[in-house]
């Protein structure tokens, strides 16, 4: 499940209130551009910053706008009881699956992380994507933890940062993850600067921030990878390079917000405070890179 390009849009706010219409536009654009799934309330969707009520409205609106494209809903929260409640809400609202990272304040032990996934999978029978994000959660999964979590019921895929170092390194990483998870569990990579290499190396899914704000380019890049059009893959990746470097250095959410504001897809500032987007020079760099890719 959730193979191909999975687009992770922002959850825009306007004057600190959820901007449902802007979210709806982002989801509809991604679906129309041909992404394979839409992942709302991921890290780029700022899930932990939103209330339970806001999160339910986001899933409902996304399901409405996505049409036949399946919607994956982030259900991460600090407290297990909240995660279960969010997962039940996501299922009620029509999400095709849930995405769960071990959101932490006190850095979690591996036993605590496993317990969280056990609690949720035993309470909510919704397809689950296991989400490793060391940058935001502080948790790096050991091989043993991957084995234990991926073997739980309802797990359908994993979302893990791609390996830097090109297609060779990506192939090693994908093979290693496949050796840890059951064969029915898909393996996908996040981190747009390296996830394309993972796709070229045989990963099932590109979990993509870029596809949330520029779905046309992301879909075209993924298709070029699938068709082994190496010249186009290289040209697109080179053009996008400065934008993807900014994603690595400044965080995908800030780059996506700056691009969405600059291009008039949302009313800025669209991030909940204290988060802020990029400065003017960075925004110009990201926009120029994206525009160059769009011209190819």
Q: Which of 49, 105, 117, 159 is catalytic?
A: 159
Could you tell me how many residues make up the chain?
296
- Binding its own copies (rule: CB under 8 A), the pick from 214, 253, 258, 293 is 253
Scanning the chain, the segments in alpha helix (DSSP H) are 20-33, 52-66, 80-92, 110-123, 134-137, 143-150, 166-180, 192-200, 210-213, 215-226, 230-250, 252-262, 280-295
Q: How far is the CB of 79 from its own copies (least distance, A)?
A: 5
Instruction: List the one residue from 49, 123, 171, 245 that touches its own copies (CB under 8 A).
Output: 49
44 labelled as ligand-binding?
Answer: yes
CB of 14 to its own copies, least distance (A): 13
Is there a catalytic annotation at residue 159? yes
Q: How far is it, in rounded angstroms, from Cα 248 to Cα 235? A: 20
Asked whether the beta carbons of 69 and 5 are under 8 A apart, the reply is no
Q: Which of 199, 188, 118 is nearest to 158 (CA)?
A: 188
What phi and psi values does residue 137 have, to the nearest 5 degrees? -110, -20
- Least distance (Å) between residue 76 CB and its own copies: 9
Q: Which of 80, 94, 152, 267 binds its own copies (CB under 8 A)?
A: 80
Does the protein bind its own copies through residue 276 (CB under 8 A)? yes
49 is an active site residue: no
Tokens representing 179? 């050796």
Q: Which residues bind its own copies (CB under 8 A)?
A: 16, 43, 46, 48-49, 78-81, 102-103, 105-109, 111-113, 115-116, 119, 135-136, 138, 251, 253-254, 272-276
Active site residues: 131, 159
């Amino acid at each position: 499940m959730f193979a191909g390009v999975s687009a992770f849009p922002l959850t825009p706010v306007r004057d600190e209130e959820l901007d449902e219409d802007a979210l709806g536009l982002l989801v509809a654009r991604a679906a129309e551009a041909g992404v394979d799934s839409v992942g709302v309330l991921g890290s780029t969707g700022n899930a932990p910053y939103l209330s339970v009520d806001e999160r339910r409205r986001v899933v409902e609106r996304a399901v409405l706008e996505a049409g036949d494209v399946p919607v994956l809903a982030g259900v991460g929260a600090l407290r297990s009881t909240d995660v279960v409640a969010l997962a039940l809400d996501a299922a009620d609202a029509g999400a095709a699956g849930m995405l769960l990272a071990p959101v932490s304040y006190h850095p979690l032990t591996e036993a605590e992380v496993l317990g969280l996934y056990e609690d949720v999978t035993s309470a909510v029978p919704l397809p689950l994507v296991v989400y490793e994000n060391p940058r935001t959660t502080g948790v790096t999964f050991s091989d043993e933890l991957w084995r234990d979590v991926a073997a739980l019921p309802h797990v359908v895929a994993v979302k893990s940062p791609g390996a830097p170092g090109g297609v060779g390194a990506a192939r090693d990483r994908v093979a290693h993850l496949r050796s840890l998870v059951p064969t029915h569990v898909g393996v996908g990579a996040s981190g747009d600067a390296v996830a394309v290499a993972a796709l070229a190396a045989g990963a099932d899914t590109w979990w993509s921030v870029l596809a949330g704000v520029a779905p046309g380019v992301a879909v075209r890049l993924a298709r070029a990878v699938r068709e082994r059009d190496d010249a186009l893959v290289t040209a697109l990746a080179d053009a996008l390079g400065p934008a993807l470097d900014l994603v690595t250095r400044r965080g995908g959410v800030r780059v996506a917000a700056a691009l969405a504001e600059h291009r008039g897809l949302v009313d800025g500032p669209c991030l909940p405070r204290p988060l802020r987007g990029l400065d003017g020079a960075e925004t110009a760099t990201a926009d120029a890179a994206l525009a160059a890719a769009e011209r190819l």
